[in-house]
Structure 1
Amino acid sequence: MRHRRNIIFLKDIAGLAFTAFGGPQAHLAMMFRLLVHKRRYLTAAELLELQALCALLPGPTSTQTVTAIGFRLGGPNLAYLALLVWCLPAVSIMTLAGLLLSHFDTAFTGRLVQFVQPVAVGFVAFSAYRIAEQVVHTKTAVALLVAAALLAYFFQYPGVLPVLLLLGGAITTFRYRRHAIVPDKKPIRVEWANGALWLGVFVLAATLGHYTHWLPVRLFENFYRNGSLVFGGGQVLAPLLFAEFVEYKHYLTGPEFLSGLGFVQAIPGPNFSIASYIGVLAMRHQGEGAGGQLLGAAAGAAGIFLPGTFLIFFVIRFWDSLRQYRVVKASLEGVKAVSAGLVCAAALLLYHPLPDRLLPLPGAWAHAHGVQLPLNPLLVGATFLLLLWERVPSVAIVGAALLAGALVK
């Protein structure tokens, strides 16, 4: 029975990998609908808790969340398989995009996804509605939700998200007396292997990157460093990669980077898969042919995804023991309320981007990022209502949006 459930879970993750457009917030909305509401692998509160835990760690939040759910359901083996199933489609597509860049019709790509963004907003809005319905039950939670949504909307700094989660947890910590004492608590046992592995690879990659001129090793080090230090997902990672690989190292041009950014927004799965695209283009002048470019893609993908994976494996092993304590349980109330507020802010930002972002970005990137596709409020509302109706699969909604984009010029 358990083996059968694991197979079904991997099929579900594969379905998400091919249909989860729109970045981490939309990914969370689709996970909520499929993994919580339909399959009931975990509760809404558990998904929010895992997502918030992953958001407090550096790395790709959606990928870490998928990995953590796999670990909860079937241990390390299922977690690694879920990670592979989730990442492989996007990494493969971005690798192919890099190899075929000179023949890739970017105008068609933009037209193809013109209706995907408003559909993604509908997914995020529905997620915000469902999450708030499930986890916000007190006046304190309502206040935290509203405050977190406003702060996340107006202040788009990389560190805002983890700080808001920590503050929300700190505020509700004082309500710990409302929770029952858990008898016979399990002792907290920290297994340091994955933490030591993360740090060891970090130091080794930095050392090799300093002393070697072989580009795949240096690419791995560059992406591993970025994956170890960036908070806030692909939206924060993109300007950092632009500054390093375009403006400083000149591995690819600004238009090439922006084309890759358009590709990664157009495909489902993790936005961090843009690392494989950059790895392909960085290797094109090394005289190693397509094989060398594939090696660059592998180095980029491994470098960007491994640190977050090591860190979530390190934390998730003692998280269940830690959450037995009343103080931790009380803090989770605030964390979940803030998480709901962040999803609300994401829906607002996707629907109505703030003209004057407070986040300082490199000049060329900021100029390109300021160009926003018009959003159709009817599509947002229609998507929300279809999800509320619960009769139309997510893949059908996304497929219809892509088909409409291909047909409408």
Structure 2
Amino acid sequence: MDSKQQKMFALWEVFRVSSRLGLTSFGGPIAHLGYFHDEYIRRRKWMDEQSYAELVALCQFLPGPASSQVGIGVGIIRAGLFGGIVAWLGFTLPSVIALVLFALLLQGFDIANAGWIHGLKIVAVAIVAQAVLGMGQKLTPDRDRVTIAAVVASVALLWPTAYTQVFLILAAGLLGLWLYGKNPVTGGRFLPIEIGKRFAISCLLLFFALLIALPLFRQTMHSEWIALFDSFYRSGALVFGGGHVMLPLLEREVVPTGWVNQEDFLTGYGAAQAVPGPLFTFAAYLGAMARGIGGAVAATIAIFLPAFLLVVGTLPFWNELRSSPRVHGALTGINAAVVGILLAALYNPLWTTSIQNPADFAFALFLFILLVYWKCPPWIIVLAGALGGILIAYV
């Protein structure tokens, strides 16, 4: 197999695996990181544990959908720039298609309280618990790092704001620099990133140029399409904390303008909870409500474009930064913080919204055992979760 065939095979592999994740990854961004960890790291070993945690930490720093950015980063590391594109397409398209169909055909259909939806929430608990266990064993092997993870989890739960997470990662990085900044760099293999630094800088410049220029074009050209693209681009570029934090931003953009009324906005939000993949694909529903299929495409591209530009713009500098003892020390603390953030998210919102009675707990424990000890693939767990949720609803 020559190099061209190898690249095509790698692209197809990335698209196939990410599409399966796009069809089965229920539960929100933290759960997605658990699904990614299981599929990309534990099963396929496309990255080592340390590198994956560092990629997660990097994407937590960046505005936008962290789980989608991690998926894009894994795709780039595996198959270059086009690997990042197909990883995003595979993970995003299933929920985009589903939400556009909701917008066009199923408005007002109430599925938020369906039994199978509740079952998928329990699946997310099992998936994230597995990720916390696996990453915790690798990234918090000593007393200091366990303590960092525990403190981060506690603070994240006690002060759950969009900026608390960023503050905790920064504080853990400084603590890691103090504790581990003089240690020799070991582990975390060099990752081939086939993107030039000049191109990366161009992507970062384009990110800021669009952020400044689109509002100016909107005011001077009075185009509904430019206004739509600007609204969704700014929502994707300026949000920290995941898809749920994005929702009030989008509401201020689409409801006062008359693109979508309040009732349809809330209906679409309920539908977005019911489909797999990133919550940012809610933009596809809103775009379809505002401007049909073309609006769905424009809104989806606009809201994810900042995430893609930021990941492509930062990854080429990653290997150099992480090979520095001081940077590596900071990343060691940040890795422990990532475990703490996952642990906090396992409790709130996943546990508090999914485990409502002893039957839910027993079912979550059963799914966790299937994942960790019986090594069942995630798609089986998803199917079992949906069926179990229906049965629990009748108990």
Same fold by TM-score greater than 0.5: yes
- Check conservation: 2:135, 2:339, Cα contact below 8 A: yes
Structure 1 stretch displaced more, 104-113 or 165-174: 104-113
Name 1:365's counterpart in structure 2: none
2:321 maps to what in 1? 322
Mapping 1:23-102, distance limit 5 Å: 23-102=28-107
Counterpart CA distance in 1 for 2:72 and 2:131 is 20
Matched residue, 2:330 = 331
Deviations 1:178-218 (A, max 9, x none): 22599xx9xx9664111111122222321122223332221
Match of 1:272 among 277, 280, 284: 280
Paired with 1:352 and 1:112, the residues of 2 have a C-alpha distance of: 17
Native 8 Å contact 2:116 2:390 kept in 1: yes
> What pairs up with 1:392-407 in 2 under 5 angstroms?
392-405=376-389
Superposition deviation, residue 323 in structure 1: 1.5
Q: 1:85–1:101: structure 2 CA closer, same or farther, 3 Å change rule?
A: same
> What is the RMSD of the two structures over their aligned residues, measured on CA atoms?
2.4
Structure 2 letter corresponding to 1:266: A
Give 1:118 deviation, angstroms: 1.4
- Asked if the contact 1:109–1:266 (Cα under 8 Å) also holds between the matched residues in 2, the reply is no
Alignment of 1:32-181 (within 5 A): 32-102=37-107, 105-107=109-111, 110-174=114-178, 175-180=180-185
Q: Could you tell me how far 1:41 is from its partner in structure 2?
A: 0.6
Distance 1:324 1:405 in 2: 46
Q: What is the distance in 1 between the residues matched to 2:381 and 2:244?
A: 24
C-alpha distance in 1 between matches for 2:217 and 2:350: 44
Q: Residues of 2 paired with 1:165 and 1:180: CA distance?
A: 20
* Match 2:235 to one of 217, 223, 226: 226
Query: TM-score, normalized by length of structure 2?
Result: 0.89
CA distance in structure 1 between the aligned counterparts of 2:75 and 2:159, rounded to whole angstroms: 33
Distance in 2 (alpha carbons) for counterparts of 1:27 and 1:181: 28
Q: In structure 2, do the counterparts of structure 1 residues 326 and 107 end up closer, same or farther at CA, with 3 Å as the change threshold?
A: closer
Identity of aligned residues (%): 28
Residue 313 of structure 1 corresponds to 312
Q: 1:115 to 1:10 in 2, by over 3 A?
A: same
Name the CA distance, whole Å, in 1 between partners of 2:186 and 2:386.
Answer: 52
Whether the aligned pair in 1 keeps the contact of 2:115 and 2:386 (CA below 8 Å) is no
The answer on whether the counterparts of 2:112 and 2:274 sit within 8 Å (CA) in structure 1 is no
Counterpart in the other structure of 1:366: none
Q: In structure 2, what residue type is equivalent to 1:393? A: P
Q: 1:136: how far off?
A: 0.5
Opposite residue 17 of structure 1, the aligned amino acid is G
Distance 1:378 1:18 in 2: 25
Relative to 1, partners in 2 of residues 1:111 and 1:214: Cα closer, same or farther, differing over 3 Å?
Answer: farther
Q: CA-to-partner distance for each residue in 1:262-294, whole Å, 9 max, x for gaps?
A: 2111111111000111112223xxxxxxxxx11
Q: Distance in 1 between matches of 2:386 and 2:112?
A: 11
Tell me the SS of whatever aligns to 2:100: helix
Deviation at 1:240, TM superposition (A): 2.5
**Aligned residue runs from structure 1 range 9-24, under 5 A:** 9-24=14-29
> Given residue 215 of structure 1, which amino acid in structure 2 is its aligned partner?
E
Q: CA deviation at 1:6?
A: 3.8
Give, as a single letter, the amino acid of the residue that structure 2 aligns with 1:262. Answer: G
Q: Distance in 2 between matches of 1:219 and 1:340?
A: 37
2:250 counterpart letter in structure 1: L
Deviation per CA, 1:332-378, whole angstroms, max 9, x where unpaired?
A: 1111000000000010003444xxxxxxxxxxxxxxxxx98846111
Residue from 198, 211, 222 that aligns with 2:207? 198
- Count of aligned residue pairs for this structure pair: 377
Q: Structure 1, residues 288-314: CA drift from partner, whole Å, max 9, x if none? A: xxxxx1111112101110001001100
The runs of 4+ residues in structure 1 deviating greater than 6 Å are none
1:118-153 CA distance string (max 9 Å, x none): 111111111111110111022221111011101111
AA at the equivalent of 1:324? S
Q: Which moved more, 1:168-177 or 1:205-214?
A: 205-214
Distance 2:326 2:286 in 1: 44
Q: Is the 8 A contact 1:181 1:326 kept in 2?
A: no
Query: What is the TM-score when the length of structure 1 is the normalising length?
Result: 0.86
Q: How many Å separate the matches in 2 of 1:121 and 1:240? A: 28
Name the CA distance, whole Å, in 2 between partners of 1:36 and 1:180: 21
Distance in 2 (alpha carbons) for counterparts of 1:83 and 1:223: 17
Q: Counterpart amino acid of 1:386?
A: L
Q: Which has the higher mean CA deviation after the structures are superposed, 81-90 or 48-57?
A: 81-90
Q: Which amino acid is the alignment partner of residue 315 of structure 1?
A: T
How far apart are residue 76 of structure 1 and its match?
0.8
Deviation at 1:111, TM superposition (A): 3.7
Query: What amino acid is aligned across from residue 141 of structure 1 in structure 2?
Result: R
- Match for 1:241 among 250, 259, 262? 250
> Which residue, out of 279, 290, 294, partners 1:282?
290
